[in-house]
């Protein structure tokens, strides 16, 4: 996490160095996941999310935004009831660094008397870190689908990466409260390129009766695959579709003039 934080601040520093005015602030809201445990229901098992934001308005319609968000993704078969007999669950701590373009449907300037409100859409690219866990244990270490484990029949599955890319997109509304303070409310989805935000993708590899009390982290191991009736090669997930996640919430930013005020900024405040 320290490396991710350092990268984020380097991005924001470089961003600020080339901007005449910059909006910086914070985000607070919720995060949730769509995948093998919850394939349908948005906002189910939503957890608290937060982060930092830097915005640069290219003009009245286009905005460039950099954000660093932290959220938690959860899934539980006994809650979603999609496949309750499978009884799988997970919790994933997720970090996101994203570069995003926003398009305002109406002319908008922070501090404007006239152009102080607009709905908008956004899209961009993100780098994410996601580590699915059960209890205090990383699910990847268990090799729940035979990753790097001799029990798996063809020994070809490799462990998945904690680091991946995502495509964020969504909708929102902006409102300027004063000459310097702006707020936005948005909902965004993230299409990822991994099916392992939840540690579930393909098939079982190990009969349940081979999980014994003598194994390390036995309690978490049993929770990771609690169905005592599964067999090797029995379907565990659906690998055809990758996982998704979402951030939704409120952003408040403060406009900073990095150079002396100019006629352009005075014009924006009047109109």
Residue from 190, 83, 188 nearest 126 by CA: 190
> Average pLDDT of 134-146?
82
Token pair recorded at residue 91: 């919790």
| pLDDT of res. 52 | 96
Average pLDDT over residues 237-245: 90
DSSP state at residue 228:
T
**Which tokens belong to 60?**
């009245």
Q: Specify the pLDDT at position 144.
A: 78
Q: State residue 167's pLDDT score.
A: 98
Task: Give the count of beta carbons closer than 10 Å to the beta carbon of residue 136.
Answer: 8
Under 8 Å between Cβ of 55 and 40: no
Element containing residue 64 per DSSP (H, E): strand 62-76
The Cβ-side half-sphere exposure at 100, using a 13 Å CA radius, reads: 29
Banded pLDDT at 203 (limits 50, 70, 90): confident
Region of residue 249 (phi > 0: left; psi between -120 and 50: alpha; otherwise: beta): left
Characterise 143 by phi-psi region: left (phi > 0), alpha (psi -120 to 50), beta (else). Answer: left
| Structural domains for the chain | 2-137+161-198+241-270 (2.40.160.20)
Cα–Cα distance list, 27 to 92, 181, 184, 249 (Å): 20, 14, 9, 7
Q: What is the pLDDT of residue 148?
A: 63
- Residue 128 in tokens: 């994410």
What is the residue-averaged pLDDT of the chain? Answer: 83
Closest CA to 112 of 271, 265, 256: 271
- Of all residues in the chain, the percent with pLDDT exceeding 90 is 53
């Amino acid at each position: 996490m320290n490396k991710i934080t350092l990268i984020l601040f380097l991005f924001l520093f470089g961003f600020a160095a080339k901007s005449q005015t910059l909006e910086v602030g914070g985000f607070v809201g919720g995060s949730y996941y769509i995948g093998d445990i919850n394939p349908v229901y948005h906002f189910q098992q939503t957890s608290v999310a937060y982060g930092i934001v830097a915005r640069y308005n290219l003009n009245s319609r286009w905005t460039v935004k950099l954000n660093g968000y932290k959220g938690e993704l959860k899934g539980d078969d006994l809650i979603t009831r999609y496949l309750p007999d499978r009884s799988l669950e997970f919790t994933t701590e997720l970090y996101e660094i994203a570069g995003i373009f926003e398009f305002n449907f109406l002319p908008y300037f922070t501090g404007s008397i006239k152009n102080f409100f607009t709905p908008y859409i956004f899209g961009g690219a993100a780098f994410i870190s996601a580590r699915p866990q059960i209890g205090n244990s990383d699910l990847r270490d268990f090799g729940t689908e035979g990753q790097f484990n001799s029990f798996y029949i063809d020994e070809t599955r490799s462990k998945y990466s904690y680091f991946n890319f995502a495509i964020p997109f969504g909708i929102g509304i902006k409102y300027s409260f004063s000459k310097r303070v702006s707020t936005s409310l948005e909902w965004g989805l993230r299409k990822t390129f991994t099916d392992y935000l939840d540690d579930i993708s393909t098939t079982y590899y190990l009969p349940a009766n081979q999980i014994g009390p003598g194994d390390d982290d036995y309690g978490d191991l049993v929770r990771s695959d609690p169905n005592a009736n599964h067999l090797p090669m029995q379907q565990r997930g659906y690998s055809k579709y990758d996982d998704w996640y979402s951030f939704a919430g409120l952003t408040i930013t403060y406009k900073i003039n990095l150079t002396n005020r100019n006629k352009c900024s005075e014009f924006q405040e009047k109109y």
